[in-house]
Amino acid sequence: MFSNIDINKMNHLMEENKEAKQIISQLLENHHTSVSMIAHEIRNPLTLVSSSLQVIEAQHPEVRQFHNWEQMMEDVQFMCSLLNELSTFNNSSTLHHSVFSIERLLKNVAVSFAISLDADNSDIEFTSRIVPGMGDFTGDKIKLEEVLLNLLRNAREAVGEKGRISLSAERREDMIVIQCRDNGCGIPEDLTDTIFEPFVTYKENGTGLGLSSSKQTIEAHGGTIYAQSSPETGTVFTVTLPV
């Protein structure tokens, strides 16, 4: 994977030299194809292993007593989700555009997040404030929805059992501004620069691909994403999207 510094260096080289631009673009394309192929090739047999293990568990519930069975099931699940996220990450900047109401998208995301909290009998207080009048938006609806769900999931993981999360959005001139706010554990100052890098995670079962793929998606829309955080007050992620 490339770090932000590598990407800046490559962009610089591409601006300076047309031949380098062509070769680097080709290499990047090959790199993306290889990552997708590897993820795909491993995911298929792994999905079979995972389903077989689930069938074994359903037919022979006693296996749950086996030493390390639960840990093994968790590890297999983790590998499946890692490969899924890797392939999402690898495709985060390839957009499939359509024209849609971003207001409706935000409202749908807020409703399904609220339902998921209810379903878990959660003590987390969730509010949303989606200001009407955002107009039509051209972009990748599914990828933007993934970004919002990533931010809300991170917020949920940050507040734990009890806390407050809010989602707000409004149009400011030619910009849609979306904020996801929580009063959870916050991000220590020395880590804020790294959280958007791929595979950076501070969670036991995290893959560290949520924010890096979100950043790629938002930047592919010409927008920005940044975090303001303190361990005392919690975290605000702000996404801006040009209309």
Ligand X SMILES: Nc1ncnc2c1ncn2[C@@H]1O[C@H](COP(=O)(O)OP(=O)(O)OP(=O)(O)O)[C@@H](O)[C@H]1O
Q: Does residue 195 belong to the site contacting ligand X (CB under 6 A)?
A: yes
Which of these ranges, 39-47, 137-145, 169-177, 202-210, lies near Mg ion under the rule CB under 5 A?
202-210
Of 43, 204, 181, which Cα lies nearest the Cα of 110? 181
Q: Smallest distance from the beta carbon of 78 to Mg ion, in angstroms?
A: 14
Task: Write the Ramachandran bin of 128: left for phi over 0, alpha for psi from -120 to 50, otherwise beta.
Answer: beta
Compute the distance between CA of residue 109 and CA of residue 37 in angstroms, rounded to an integer.
31
Q: Does residue 162 belong to the site contacting ligand X (CB under 6 A)?
A: no
Site map 203..222 versus Mg ion, x via CB under 5 A:
-------x------------
Q: Smallest distance from the beta carbon of 27 to ligand X, in angstroms?
A: 25
Decide whether 156 or 221 has the Cβ nearer to Mg ion: 156
Site map 113..142 versus Mg ion, x via CB under 5 A:
------------------------------
Residue of the chain from 152, 169, 176, 211 that contacts ligand X (CB under 6 A): 211
Q: Which of ligand X, Mg ion, none interacts with 207 (beta carbon under 5 to 8 A by kind)? A: ligand X
Q: Which of Mg ion, ligand X, none interacts with 183 (beta carbon under 5 to 8 A by kind)? A: none
Q: Smallest distance from the beta carbon of 46 to ligand X, in angstroms?
A: 17
Instruction: Find out whether 172 and 229 touch, Cβ atoms under 8 Å.
Output: no
CA distances from residue 81 to 68, 77, 213 in whole angstroms, order as listed: 20, 6, 14
Site for ligand X in 28-87 (CB under 6 A): 85
Compute the distance between CA of residue 47 and CA of residue 164 in angstroms, rounded to an integer.
36
Question: Hey, CA dihedral for 7, 13, 18, 24, is it positive or negative?
Answer: negative
Decide whether 110 or 155 has the Cβ nearer to Mg ion: 155
Instruction: Tokens for 172, please give them.
Output: 């400011």
Q: Which of Mg ion, ligand X, none interacts with 140 (beta carbon under 5 to 8 A by kind)? A: none
Instruction: Tokens for 151, please give them.
Output: 């931010």
Of 138, 139, 137, 136, which Cα lies nearest the Cα of 92? 139
In the complex, which residues of this chain contact Mg ion (CB under 5 A)? 154, 210
